[in-house]
Structure 1
Amino acid sequence: MEKSNYYIIFLLYLFFLGFRGYVGSDFFMYYEVFQYLPVFDGKWSFQLLSDVTIEKGFLLYMTLVKSIFNDYSFFVFINTFVNIICILVFLRRYSSNVALSLIVFLEIGGLIFETDVLRNMKSVLLFILSIKYIEQRRLLPFLTFNLIGLSMHSSAIIYLPMYWLINRPIGLKTFWVLFILGNIIYLGKIHILSIAVTPFLGLLGGRFELLSNNYLDTGIVSDYGFTMGFFLRIAVAVMISYYYERIKALHSYNIIFINCIFIYLLLFCYFSEIRILAIRMTNLFFFSYAVIIPQFVYLFRVRSNQIIYIGIVCLISILKVNGKINTPIYEYDSVLFEHKDAYERKINIDDFYIGLE
């Protein structure tokens, strides 16, 4: 029964996301890059990719798929196929409930990653597949996976020191001191990034200075205050702290994912000054929710409490996903049926953003 459910999940994910049309805010950038890229032939060279500013590893990946079949919808399907294989390998390795874990995975960040930040998704997936090498203390394969991830997206640089950091308990006292301080910064709207981070990125120069210009100087601030997300982050922090020892006792690898959740919560507080940066940084660790949140089911011994908990998780997930996709940008289209072309969807997106100004 569990094996059949596994295949059902695989097929549903692949059908709805693999055959999606031009969905999301970033699709047009990838669409244009795909159209521009040359296929592999006797005249191909790296010089042909020099005019495209995105990471060369991802460009090579797109070029490989394009060389098989020159159609952007085919690329989306193959990319989704690769993603769901990696996700399910990860969840089967670490999840106690693959279906519930996938729901949490999509709700907390996976859906946006699948439709928008395709490069980030690859670096995240390579990292989560490399976690077993952190457990096994095998540095070389860990670095191999994440250096490939770095060639997909520059944000993967944050994963490299995790080999030495996330397999040791952060400690509840340390976490709560940093978490309380971070929430003071968040609620107090204290802008620390422009003071602390901008000079550092400027010294690094190159792409990192460009990131500083794109994110830190945009003035696009977070939605501060007592939002639904704020209370959910507090609830997760309290629940993990209350069941800390019991969660650690369930599986030896849980300390890695608890630490990743702690990092997720702290990054949101300290990077809340810039909304897009807070989202990009925290989403590097969103996968940890998909492992830890479903495990609470087994900590509630009464069956009715387990059912109530699963119902609450599913309800919150539906509400949050609906909030994310309930815009013209994420209006679902399928290439299997009549759908809008790329340029028509691009006009809809531009009109949507103009309407927000």
Structure 2
Amino acid sequence: MLIFSIREVFGKKVDKKWFWFLGIYLIILAGLRNQVGPDYGSYLGIYIYSDTKSYYSIFMKMLHLEGTETLDVEWLYTLINKILLNIFNAPYYVLTLIIAIFAIIFKVEYTEDNTFYPFTFTLFMFIPNFFIGESGQIRQNLGTFMVYFAIRYIKERKLWHYLFFIFLGSGIHSVCYLFLPMYWLARVPLNKTIMLILIIGSVFLSPFEVYRFFGNFLSGMAEESSLVDGFNGYMDETVQRINGGFGIPEAMMAILTFFLFVFDNKMKELYPYYEYHRNYAVIGICFYFIFRNNPIFSSRLVGAFVGFSYIIIPNAMYVVSGRVRNMIYAFIITLVVFNFVVFSTFNNIRAGRFTIDLYQNHLLP
């Protein structure tokens, strides 16, 4: 990733086939892992649980109607699990492989569609996203990348195509419902004054926990009791930060805000569809501060939007030249190294069994 990243930034665009080779390798790493990831056992439990549900109940859940049984997991994910186990009696790694294949395909297509620096963006987001996403919260990861992919239909003004992907994505994870308004919100004009008012307003709203007014609606999108412990194996949320301290998430919001305001004019002028990513970024930053006192909301719900918006940081290199591009790239690589060190220091790599002595794969030695 680093070698091709240097080439695409300082040389010429790398052929897409090399990006697909990387995608295939990541599919093998995530899809054929064995007992790897803090959520591995929880999803294995869901796999077995899904076979106890009837196809009729799954169909009723798809229609948002009550069936003879209660489904605690979204209909499409339950259906995939049930077919694999009930019809093919497939081992669990077949499920993780299929989910990884679709997630990486959507990820590759989205990245290629929205940046000239796919290797740089993938490198920038690799830690901790690959471990929390493709190798951790596989449902939310797949659902959100299906919606990320569907941003092409916002650009093409194909509403029904976009709604179809929202429908499928929400069948994997209900957090995808949050993206439904983005077909219209992505094109809302914003300027620096409006962005500043929205972000500062969200900071002031943070202590009041206004998200509680939505009751169980948001809770259903962000929390499954069987997965919270696994998720917390990766995310080190301290009481001091939640109660008003300053940590890595706040620093990343500050960095993203900096890029929004400093490069906004040039990006609007030179980068196609930048405004869509900017709007996602503003919503993500505002959501982060509004949900800040809830560690699950401020990471899972916000992460879905921020995953879009971080693409602004490498894309900024496209609208500058010379010394400024070098500075941005050096900053990105510094963040990559920093994230690697922090993620390892928090013992999260060992918690997920991703160390060289603990990692196991059904294919790789």
Kindly indicate whether the alpha-carbon contact (under 8 Å) linking 2:211 and 2:290 is maintained by their aligned counterparts in 1.
no
The residue aligned with 2:22 is 9
Q: Shift in Å at residue 143 of structure 1?
A: 0.9
Structure 2 letter corresponding to 1:235: I
The residue aligned with 2:212 is 198
| TM superposition score normalised by structure 2 | 0.78
The residue aligned with 2:11 is none
1:60 to 2:86 alignment: no
Identity %: 17
**Residue correspondences, number:** 324
In structure 2, how many angstroms separate the alpha carbons of the residues matched to 1:230 and 1:199? 24
1:334 to 2:348 alignment: no
The residue aligned with 2:248 is 228
Q: Deviations over 1:148-200 (max 9, x none)?
A: 212222222211111111122232212112222333455xxx2x22xx33343
Kindly indicate whether the alpha-carbon contact (under 8 Å) linking 1:201 and 1:209 is maintained by their aligned counterparts in 2.
no
In structure 2, how many angstroms separate the alpha carbons of the residues matched to 1:75 and 1:164? 35
1:37 to 2:37 alignment: no
Select which of 80, 91, 95 maps to 1:71.
Answer: 91
In structure 1, how many angstroms separate the alpha carbons of the residues matched to 2:317 and 2:69? 50
Range that drifts further, 260-269 or 16-25: 16-25
In structure 1, how many angstroms separate the alpha carbons of the residues matched to 2:104 and 2:72? 27
Kindly indicate whether the alpha-carbon contact (under 8 Å) linking 1:18 and 1:77 is maintained by their aligned counterparts in 2.
yes
1:116 to 2:142 alignment: no
Q: What is the correspondence of 1:74-153 to structure 2 with a 5 Å cutoff?
A: 74-107=94-127, 109-153=129-173
Q: Shift in Å at residue 83 of structure 1?
A: 1.0
1:323 to 2:323 alignment: no
In structure 2, how many angstroms separate the alpha carbons of the residues matched to 1:154 and 1:291? 24
Select which of 50, 56, 69 maps to 1:46.
Answer: 56
Kindly indicate whether the alpha-carbon contact (under 8 Å) linking 1:34 and 1:72 is maintained by their aligned counterparts in 2.
yes
Select which of 280, 283, 289 maps to 1:269.
Answer: 289
| TM superposition score normalised by structure 1 | 0.79
1:162 to 2:178 alignment: no
The residue aligned with 2:34 is 21
SS of 2:321's equivalent?
coil
Kindly indicate whether the alpha-carbon contact (under 8 Å) linking 1:122 and 1:152 is maintained by their aligned counterparts in 2.
yes
In structure 1, how many angstroms separate the alpha carbons of the residues matched to 2:285 and 2:128? 12
Q: Shift in Å at residue 57 of structure 1?
A: 1.5
In structure 2, how many angstroms separate the alpha carbons of the residues matched to 1:77 and 1:209? 24
SS of 1:245's equivalent?
helix
The residue aligned with 1:344 is none
Q: Shift in Å at residue 107 of structure 1?
A: 3.5
Q: Shift in Å at residue 321 of structure 1?
A: 4.3
Q: Shift in Å at residue 105 of structure 1?
A: 3.4
Shift in alpha-carbon separation, 1:113–1:161, aligned structure 2, 3 A = same
